[in-house]
Amino acid sequence: MEELLKISELSEQTGLSAHTLRYYEKHGLIQASTRSEAGYRFYTDSDVRRVQFVKTARNSGFSLDDISQLLSIRVDKESHSCQDVTDITQKKLDQVNAKLAELHSMQHTLELLLESCCGGPENATHCSIIEALDAGVVDKEAFGQARHEST
């Protein structure tokens, strides 16, 4: 006995809003196996599993486009290799690593700025953060160097 779910029920089961589910459908990620005569979507267990796959992949950092590719592998595993899958995954990891590097650099800069400034209630006439930004010194190592010397 197949239990068919309406969109709100699928929403409840997956934690994705009905809006999002329709959005995913519009972008070809998922589909309701059947529709009522009135056009209401009805989802099977297999549909639910597919949606959960999408959700898990989203949580893992994959874009909808990545997921689209992963899904076409999932439905026809014989026609794809493990390498196809790792290629997608590796590419995503590369992107994540690139973004991490960028953010680490920002983190470093912001930490240096914070360390350099007293942060107190005195007025900002000689605030070293404002001064550093004014000197454009932030990208250069000089800023970190200068701080190091004075420590």
The answer to whether the beta carbons of residues 67 and 54 sit under 8 Å apart is yes
Total residues interacting with a second copy, rule: CB under 8 A: 57
Please state the closest distance from residue 36 (CB atom) to a second copy, in A.
Answer: 28
Q: Which span (1-9, 22-30, 33-41, 129-137) binds a second copy, by CB under 8 A?
A: 129-137
Contact between 20 and a second copy per CB under 8 A? no
Residue 24 · residue 30 · CB < 8 Å: yes
Instruction: Tell me the torsion sign for CA atoms 112, 115, 120, 126.
Output: negative
Residue 147: which of DNA, a second copy, none does it interact with, CB under 5 to 8 A by kind? Answer: none
> According to the binding rule CB under 8 A, does residue 96 interact with a second copy?
yes
Phi, psi (deg, nearest 5) at residue 50: -65, -45
The entry of a second copy, DNA, none near residue 36 (CB within 5 to 8 angstroms by kind) is DNA
Sign of CA dihedral 63, 52, 49, 94: positive
